[in-house]
Structure 1
Amino acid sequence: MQDKMISKLEILAESAKYDISCASSGTSRSNKNKGIGSASRCGICHSFTADGRCVSLLKIMLTNYCMFDCAYCINRQSNDIPRAGFTPKELADLTIEFYRRNYIEGLFLSSGIVRSADHTMEKMIRVVKILRQEYHFNGYIHMKAIPGASNELIREAGLLVDRMSVNLEIPTERNLKLLAPDKDHQTIYQPMRHIQQNLLENIEDRKKLKSTPKFVPAGQSTQVIIGATDETDNQILQLTAKLYKRPSMKRVYYSGFIPVNSYDKRLPVLQEVPRVRENRLYQADWLLRFYDFNVDEIVNDEHPDLDLTVDPKLSWAIRNPQFFPVDINRDSYRKILRVPGIGVKSAKLIVMARRHRKLNIEALKRIGVVLKRAQFFIVCHEMRTYKLLDSSAEYIRLSLQDQPLIEVNKDPIPQQLVMGW
């Protein structure tokens, strides 16, 4: 590989690392005819799977030149940083070369905005067209949609890639205009609506003609920056809940603000990345999507921000003692799911197992219940004592608070934290 290409790769991979809105592909595509690569539903990501398998994608920008000057962005126009750009052919060739060497399994493609949104989208689409049509690459491709791009280009891209994302960046319009005066939420929401509309139309078209290519089969995602502005967790999660009502929205990612630029009075002065808050937001997001919670139960006007000392599920349980105890052998799946220390899988196993016999402590351990947490909130066969009655909320909080989370990871590269509760 030429030195010039290596230099471009280093610059543009570095410029792309702060965008975290990529994860499992959520789609499957088998290899066809003489094509190369495949996309797997089990996931393409830049992380490790639960079984320790490392899966990777080439996460890179087409160019880090940008006409905008967003205060929080390393690639902003006013920054004095090395700049580079690939031609579509160069980036497609690089992707295939890395795939053939078994370095990657897919591509995450973003770009700075050059000339106009449509001009930039056309260049990105050209990369994907070369991969799909010339190299017959069937692997996973995630592409950023550029705010302001036309619906025609959004539709063309969506028929070629697996997932598209449009980053909201800042949760409220007021603060977005403060930090990114060239942007507004209306322009950002426009491609989100186009993606959703095209996806719904594509579903109807496929009902009539099954050979119609799928439009973004893995849906869309977005990312918000937290800690750069003064939004409360309540505001952020209310926005998240609205976004999840869109049928095409699969994930909202939370990126703790990282001070990557020289001093700017519009930005907070931070010594550490707000990693604990970021993790709590991911846990609250899990409650919204899988645990049947609504936002007002997690945060509200009285408690506008998440408790950083304990996870949001435990925080809710401590604030709502009237909901407990939960009888493991009698109460509904929904009630059991709300017990700290019991996850979705454990709750389902409990409901199945109790059909055959009454469950005791040993049975709960075998199922995978974290009794250190659950013991304060449940009763079951051979466990009649309801510990929440004999323990103060402060005692429970101190006993179960997540100490390792308070030790903030100082690694400047953002990583999604794993839910362990």
Structure 2
Amino acid sequence: MKLIDKLAVLADAAKYDASCASSGTSHRNSLDGKGIGSAGGTGICHSYTPDGRCVSLLKILLTNFCIYECSYCVNRASSQVRKARFSVAEVVKLTLDFYRRNYIEGLFLSSGIINNEDYTMEQLILVAKDLRLKHGFRGYIHLKTIPDASPELLKEAGRYADRLSINIELPTQQSLQKLAPEKSLQGITSTMSRLKSGIEEAKEQHKNHTRISNQKTRSRLVFAPAGQSSQMIIGADDSTDGTILKTTDRLYSRYRMRRVYYSAFSPIPDASSALPLQAPPLVREHRLYQADWLLRFYGFRTDEIVPTQGTDAGMLDLHIDPKLAWAIRHRDWFPVNINRAPLELLLRVPGIGARTAYKITTVRKHRLLRLADLQKLRVPLKKCRPFIETLDHTPNSQLLEHDNLRAQFVPPVQQELALFQSTASMVFS
């Protein structure tokens, strides 16, 4: 197969992996002026989509041959899709050629499992090692870690990659057992734990060697300086949003994940009967990203974000964002006085982001804020007006207590769709 044909197959096969965002790192900057690219400073200019995905990496699989039989994966062992495999030299050539043409700023490399876990991990490492040592490549490299690969290989991978990731795929062992029997939650999290230990050890060594000026000595102290990330598939099993977010919270707290990504399940050819026939609505993926943001930057707990009672228990509201949904369920917290409330409470007001909340606490030291001041800070007044008090605004108590407050924020098209679905269910029931 020609190289261009392999690229078409293996770039397309990599599109299902969402965990390819890159965080810049300055540890691999070329101090001697040699080498290609840079992982920070004036080297790579990262470009992100709204959900945080980096779009400036060459994103490919080493191969889409795989010995695993994961039901949700288009590249599973029994799949009839067109298969291909790059050699190590071909991936290196592609990376350098695309970089020199200014098409990319780095490489995201994953792979199906060929022969066994260690052999596959060795091939991925050889690509990164060749780029770094033979060609002096200083650009960003993200390697996908193979579950159950040996600790020695993980340690070597961290020396050459800026970021390592291992996909947890599904939030529970029961789901993995059903849809990906060759994988285990324990094996995946054990690998995550080793990566976490390697990252923390390297950081500690770096602190103790801050005065070292020799680049060769310093490079030995680097281990995945951009951290590790993971991904979950949404909608391939019956896990609720609450279950997914609890798993996410554990990944952040126990393994110091830089990011957890969510990828909505997409129906695949010759699908297993264990899989749903239709993909989940893409807005569900979007709501999970918003909820993830609340966990990391706004001080919310998972049991606050996802309702635990009622007909929608365990699921996020698809029509409004999670923070607004929480505010509507907890109206006794409001209205919040913008000029007196602590930062922790400002962060809970719908429409007020983390940066805006910090700006408010700074500005109000000098003067009391009005609605016009919030407008200058680009706060969406329509969303937050019922939940705040300012010097010139007190919300209508009847509006805040109104049973149908949620309907004030649902887009008209969604209201009509909900009404149609409700009417249809009455007619056909």
Matched, 1:208 2:208: yes
Which residue number in structure 2 is paired with residue 412 of structure 1? none
Post-superposition offset of 1:401:
2.1
Partner of 1:187: 187
Distance 1:353 1:208, change over 3 A: closer
Q: Say whether residues 1:297 and 2:297 are aligned partners.
A: no
| Mapped contact 2:307–2:316 kept (Cα < 8 A) | no
Q: For the structure 1 residues 55 and 241, does the alpha-carbon distance in structure 2 shift closer, same or farther, using more than 3 Å as the test?
A: closer
Match among 334, 337, 342 for residue 332 of structure 1: 342
Whether the 8 Å CA contact 1:324–1:377 is kept in 2: the answer is: yes
Higher deviation after alignment, 303-312 or 35-44: 35-44
1:400 lines up with 2:409 in the alignment: yes
Deviations 1:151-174 (A, max 9, x none): 100000001111000001111111
The yes-or-no answer on 1:282 pairing with 2:289 is yes
Q: Does 1:257 align with 2:238?
A: no
C-alpha distance in 2, partners of 1:117/1:405? 47
Q: Which amino acid aligns with 1:9?
A: L
Find the aligned partners of 1:80 and 1:146 in 2 and give their Cα distance. 23
Q: Find 1:226's aligned residue among 234, 252, 269.
A: 234
The letter of the residue matching 1:265 is S
Structure 2 match to 1:21: 19
Offset of 1:208 from its aligned partner?
Answer: 3.0
Deviation at 1:388, TM superposition (A): 4.8
Distance 1:405 1:291, change over 3 A: farther
Say if 1:330 and 1:246 are closer, same or farther in 2 by CA, change over 3 A.
Answer: same
**Alignment partner, residue 129 of structure 2:** 129
Confirm whether residue 5 of structure 1 aligns to residue 13 of structure 2. Answer: no
In structure 2, stretches of 5+ residues that fail to align are 211-217, 417-429
Q: Distance in 1 between matches of 2:315 and 2:50?
A: 31
Map of 1:85 onto structure 2? 85
Which SS does the other structure have where 1:255 is aligned? Answer: strand
What secondary structure is seen at the aligned counterpart in 2 of 1:159? helix
The 1-side partners of 2:192 and 2:294 are apart by 24
For residues 141 and 406 of structure 1, the distance between their equivalents in structure 2, rounded to whole angstroms, comes to 45
Q: Is the 8 A contact 2:173 2:185 kept in 1?
A: yes
Give a deviation string over 1:173-215, Cα, whole Å, max 9, x none: 1111111111111121121111011112222222333424321
Q: Aligned partners of 1:282 and 1:9: how far apart in 2?
A: 30
Q: Aligned-residue CA RMSD in angstroms?
A: 2.2
User: Matched residue pairs, number?
Assistant: 401
Contact kept? 2:387, 2:400, Cα under 8 Å: no
Asked whether the equivalents of residues 55 and 105 of structure 1 are also in contact (C-alpha less than 8 Å), the reply is: no
Match of 2:74 in 1: 74
Of 106-115 and 387-396, more deviation after overlay is shown by: 387-396
Quick check: 1:59–1:109 contact (8 Å CA) kept in 2?
yes
Once structures 1 and 2 are overlaid, which stretch shifts more, 300-309 or 311-320?
Answer: 300-309
- Partner of 1:415 in structure 2? none
Query: Is the Cα–Cα contact under 8 Å of residues 72 and 261 in structure 1 kept in the other structure?
Result: no
CA positional deviation for 1:406:
9.8
Q: Which residue of 2 aligns with 1:358?
A: 368
Letter in 2 for 1:360: R
Report whether the alignment pairs 1:319 with 2:318: no
Q: Check conservation: 2:249, 2:295, Cα contact below 8 A.
A: yes
Which SS does the other structure have where 1:72 is aligned? coil
Amino acid at match of 1:21: S
Distance in 1, Cα, partners of 2:367 & 2:167: 50
Deviations 1:338-390 (A, max 9, x none): 11011111111111111111111111100121100110001110112x23543
Give SS of 1:224's match: strand
Cα contact 2:343–2:357 (8 A) shared by 1: yes
Structure 1: give runs of 5+ residues left out of the alignment.
Answer: 408-421
Give matches, 1:47-196, under 5 Å. Answer: 47-48=48-49, 56-196=56-196
AA matched with 1:290: F
Shift of 1:243: 0.8
Aligned to 2:213: none
Which secondary structure does the structure 2 equivalent of 1:109 belong to? strand
What letter matches 1:338 in structure 2?
A: R
| Counterpart for residue 252 of structure 2 | 244
2: CA distance between counterparts of 1:94 and 1:254?
28
Larger CA deviation: 202-211 vs 228-237: 202-211
**Aligned runs of 1:404-415 on 2, under 5 Å?**
none
Q: Which has the higher helix share?
A: 2
| Residues 280-318 of structure 1: CA deviation (Å, up to 9, x unaligned) | 111100000011111111125323111111111001000
Q: Is the 8 A contact 1:277 1:308 kept in 2?
A: yes
Contact 1:72 1:267 in 2 (8 A): yes
Distance in 2 between residues matched to 1:5 and 1:326, nearest whole Å: 61
Q: Is the 8 A contact 2:122 2:153 kept in 1?
A: yes
What is the distance in 2 between the residues matched to 1:137 and 1:405?
Answer: 50
CA contact (8 A) 1:257 1:274 kept: no
Q: Deviations over 1:58-90 (max 9, x none)?
A: 000111110011111010110111111111111
Q: Is the 8 A contact 1:375 1:387 kept in 2?
A: no
SS state at 1:376 partner: helix
- The aligned residue for residue 310 of structure 1 is 320
- Match of 1:10, as an amino acid? A
Q: Is the 8 A contact 1:22 1:45 kept in 2?
A: no
The 5 Å alignment of 1:25-36 reads 25-28=23-26, 29-32=28-31, 33-36=33-36
Q: Aligned partners of 2:269, 2:171: CA distance in 1, in Å?
A: 20
CA distance in 1 between partners of 2:5 and 2:404 (Å): 56
